[in-house]
Amino acid sequence: MGGPLHLVGLTADGCRIARDGGGGYVVDHTTQRGIWQRVANLPAAYAACELFSRRDALALPRWREEA
């Protein structure tokens, strides 16, 4: 990344959006704290946060218990 990070936004579910010293945007989600993912621009950062929150909310299929 291109230098120090400056926090730009924080979503309700804890996804952090920051701008690095090189003018790029990165996102970090609470489930993967410390792992910044580079994105193309600010709208892409919010879209990535939305994908993270959807991934956390996906329901797994329940196994049927047979009697």
Say what the pLDDT of residue 63 is. Answer: 61
3-state secondary structure of 58: coil
Q: What is the pTM of this model?
A: 0.71
Contact 9, 25 (CB under 8 A): no
Tens-place pLDDT, residues 2-52? 578 899 999 888 889 999 888 899 999 866 677 888 999 999 999 998 887
Nearest to 15 by CA among 57, 61, 50: 50
pLDDT at 8: 93
Which pLDDT score is estimated for 51? 84
Domain boundaries, the chain: 6-55
Phi, psi of 37 (to 5 degrees): -110, 125
Is residue 40 within 8 Å of residue 58, measured between CB atoms? no
Q: Give yes or no for a contact between 38 and 26, defined as CB atoms under 8 angstroms apart.
A: yes
Residue 45: per-residue pLDDT: 93
